[in-house]
Amino acid sequence: MTELHESAGTGPGDAHFAVFTDRADAAAVACSFARPGSRTLPHASGRPWLVGRWHDDEVVTARAGDAALALIGCCPVDADELRRWAARLRDLAELDAMARSLPGSFHLVAALDGRVRVQGTASGLRLVFHAEIDGVRVAASRADTLACALGLEPDAGELAVRLLWPAPYPLSETSLWPAVTAVPPQDAVVVAADGRTARHTRWWTPPEPVRPLAEGAPLIRAALEEAVDARTRQGGVVSCDLSGGLDSTSVCFLAARSPARVVAGTWPGRDPADTDLYWAERAAGHLPQVEHVVWDADASPLVYDDLLGIDDLLDEPTIGVMDRSRVLHHLPALAARGSRLHLTGIGGDHVAWCSEAYYHRLVRTRPLFGLRQLRGFRALWQWPLGGTIHALADSRPYRTWLADAADRLRDPAPPSVATGLGWGMAPRLFGWVTADAERSARRALLDAAATAEPLHPDRGMHADLVQIRSTTRVIRQWDRMAARAGLPMASPFLDDRVIEACLSVRPDERVTPWRYKPVLTAAMSGVVPEACLRRATKATASMDASDGLREHRADLLALWEDSRLERLGLVDGAELRRLALRPASPGLSAAILYSTIAAEVWLRGLSRGRTRIS
């Protein structure tokens, strides 16, 4: 069996666990999951129910009769309230309503009549996996926990898929080990009383986007207030990003109204055209009770920093490694100021705005309105007329779009209008990816195309959900890194209740070429001063990325020496080494290396974090 080497202890933000049925054979398997420092929650029989690592502040449990419930994560529910839910529980399906009603971000685990049910969040920030181990079906919050128990190595074909830029849904949501099954975020897994049979049951569907903005704005404000309150109601000191953008500014103003004392940090960009500091100081001027810390822009790490030193235990490759040093850099200083939790505005871009792809439908149902809006988008994004007409005429179903992508993996990148009005960005492979890897990726795309359904029939809602879920897959890894660094992070915009409130607003009022984030400005009116809601720009940090390519080219060169991906026959290491010596090569500034670097760094971390035991 393979063992994952964990740190000696754990703090808030680093909860992970495996779940077992109440059977003797399951209890025997559970013993192999116990590690120094791990904890166990028992069934009423005394057999293990949950085994893993968590902090007391992250877990609420309750038992009533044959029912037991556990919430792991952030949820402002106490044991008495949870016990009332357990006392009323007669069928595991009743948990759908419970999960859709509670604020926060958490895993929900239940046991009833010998069965167990496990689910994460609809956002994908908290995931669930399951596998059969010694004849027993085990669910877990991390895929690598199960893979290690089975002694598995990552599957080369799955790694080839992750080299796609980007890997499209549903290929982006599989585990790296075929024996480990990923549970879709909208589903729960139910393990039968026999301890072997498992099924997925849907607990969440996105709201229909039909609510007028005037009606939706108060609901969005209430949901975001509740999300921030769930993290700040205990008081103490919390820190917030204050970039000057609408997202972080909204979270900071809400946190400032809480019982907690707030430390706000601003990290100016290196680009002289970056206006973050101006807007952050403008916001801070309205928050005299908030301590405002401005970091030195030149002291902050660049993109691609310390790729060779990353040793976080991650259960999948993540492009988040490119910015890992930047994300973690200021956390120790904030913790030294007393912060117990760091709040970010991450996710606001994905829920307070939406995909222009909704206009593929709107131009058919409301042609005059749709065409007028599209003229604005063409000017805003520089979409050519011919390309816009072609994208609007493209009515391929999702399966066909996936299958067609399989035959165009080496084509030039599609135009931005095709991505903006289509099902998403069509995946591509680049010159350093081998023919064997291409064959594996093409086969996976064609296999998926045979049965795949979009996340929603409307390509706009599908694109929104894909963007949310691809973002949370990065953030869940950043959250683990931050907890390990000593200061857990939270992103209230990515709570399910906030996402639902935003997605329920009519798309023609969520995304428009004439206003920037109208949903958020309407929702935060009266909370954030109007002067701070007028910002209509966003910093891109493109200079940090291009400078990072130049300054860290030696590390990138070293990354491809004795490449793990090259050993697996998935990349041409010589071509990658040549590119590392030419950081100004065309296309590199467009992040096309990200998926390959992510896979390489992950494989290196995996080999460092595991050892064989007899």
Distances (CA, A) of 168 to 66, 164, 171, 426: 42, 8, 6, 8
Statement to judge: residues 558 and 592 lie in one domain: yes
Which tens digits make up the pLDDT trace of 159-192?
999 999 999 999 999 999 999 999 999 999 999 9
Cα–Cα nearest to 274, from 5, 539, 601, 459: 539
pLDDT, position 539: 62
Confidence of residue 38 (pLDDT cuts 50, 70, 90): very high
Angle of helix 496-503 versus helix 213-232 axis, rounded to 10: 170
pLDDT, position 1: 39
Confidence of residue 614 (pLDDT cuts 50, 70, 90): very low
pLDDT, position 148: 94
pLDDT, position 140: 98
Statement to judge: residues 127 and 90 lie in one domain: yes
Statement to judge: residues 231 and 346 lie in one domain: yes
Last residue of a domain, one of 400, 429, 461: 461
pLDDT, position 547: 84
Last residue of a domain, one of 506, 523, 542: 542
Query: Would residue 558 count as lying in a domain?
Result: yes
Query: Would residue 420 count as lying in a domain?
Result: yes
Which tens digits make up the pLDDT trace of 16-27?
999 999 999 999
Return phi, psi of residue 100, to 5°. Answer: -80, -5
Query: Would residue 497 count as lying in a domain?
Result: yes
Q: Which residues contact 100 (CB under 8 A, 6 or more apart)?
A: 203, 204, 496
Helix (H) or strand (E) holding 255: helix 246-256
pLDDT, position 541: 59
pLDDT surpasses 50 at 281? yes
For the segment 242-257, the average pLDDT, to the nearest whole number, is 96
pLDDT, position 542: 63
**Could you please report the per-residue DSSP string of 120-175?**
--TTSSS-EEEEEETTEEEEES-HHHHHHHHTPPPPHHHHHHHTSBTPPTTGGGS-
Query: Would residue 547 count as lying in a domain?
Result: no
Query: Would residue 207 count as lying in a domain?
Result: no
Q: Which two tokens stand for residue 200?
A: 């997925």
The percentage of the chain sitting over the pLDDT mark of 90, rounded to a whole number, equals: 86
Statement to judge: residues 371 and 279 lie in one domain: no
Distances (CA, A) of 564 to 148, 149, 331, 567, 575: 19, 23, 31, 5, 15
Residue 18's CB is within 10 A of a number of other CB atoms, namely 28
Statement to judge: residues 112 and 57 lie in one domain: yes
Statement to judge: residues 373 and 347 lie in one domain: no
Residue 134 CA to residue 131 CA, distance in Å, equals 10
Number of structural domains found in the chain:
4
Q: What is the DSSP letter of 290?
A: S
Residues 250 and 217: beta-carbon distance below 8 Å: no
Mean pLDDT score of the chain:
93
pLDDT, position 257: 97
Which tens digits make up the pLDDT trace of 554-568?
999 999 999 999 999
Residue 182 bridge partners (DSSP): 129
Counting beta carbons within 10 angstroms of the beta carbon of residue 191, is it exposed (0 to 12), middle (13 to 18) or buried (19 or more)? Answer: buried
Statement to judge: residues 435 and 581 lie in one domain: no
The structure's pTM equals 0.95
For the segment 507-530, the average pLDDT, to the nearest whole number, is 95
For the segment 105-119, the average pLDDT, to the nearest whole number, is 98
pLDDT surpasses 80 at 335? yes
pLDDT, position 274: 77
Residue 17 CA to residue 37 CA, distance in Å, equals 12
pLDDT surpasses 60 at 3? no
Range from 289-298, 366-375, 535-544 carrying the lowest mean pLDDT:
535-544
- Long-range contact set of residues 272-278: C-beta below 8 Å, sequence gap at least 24: 274/539, 275/244, 275/537, 275/539, 276/243, 276/244, 276/245, 276/539, 277/244, 278/244
pLDDT, position 82: 97
Statement to judge: residues 446 and 495 lie in one domain: no
Return phi, psi of residue 391, to 5°. Answer: -65, -40
Residue 614 CA to residue 186 CA, distance in Å, equals 39
pLDDT surpasses 50 at 306? yes
Residue 292 CA to residue 296 CA, distance in Å, equals 13
Instruction: Region of 480 please: left (phi>0), alpha (psi -120 to 50) or beta.
Output: alpha
Statement to judge: residues 437 and 530 lie in one domain: no
CA angle 176, 181, 187 (to 5 degrees): 125
Which one is predicted more confidently, 582 or 108? 108
Distances (CA, A) of 345 to 239, 246, 323: 12, 8, 16
Q: Which two tokens stand for residue 47?
A: 């057999």
Statement to judge: residues 342 and 370 lie in one domain: no
- Domain at 172, CATH number: 3.60.20.10
For the segment 349-363, the average pLDDT, to the nearest whole number, is 94
Statement to judge: residues 178 and 75 lie in one domain: yes
Distances (CA, A) of 140 to 48, 194, 320, 434: 14, 18, 22, 34
Query: Would residue 273 count as lying in a domain?
Result: yes
Q: At residue 246, what is the residue type?
A: L
Terminal Cα-to-Cα distance of the chain (whole angstroms): 7
Residues 402 and 445: beta-carbon distance below 8 Å: yes
Which tens digits make up the pLDDT trace of 440-450?
999 999 999 99
Query: Would residue 597 count as lying in a domain?
Result: yes
Query: Would residue 208 count as lying in a domain?
Result: no
Angle of helix 496-503 versus helix 459-485 axis, rounded to 10: 160
For the segment 419-432, the average pLDDT, to the nearest whole number, is 97
For the segment 458-474, the average pLDDT, to the nearest whole number, is 97
Last residue of a domain, one of 401, 435, 461: 461
Where in the sequence is the domain holding 106, given as residue range(s)?
2-202
Residue 610 CA to residue 455 CA, distance in Å, equals 36
Statement to judge: residues 192 and 274 lie in one domain: no
Helix (H) or strand (E) holding 233: none
Which tens digits make up the pLDDT trace of 471-507?
999 999 999 999 999 999 999 999 999 999 999 999 9
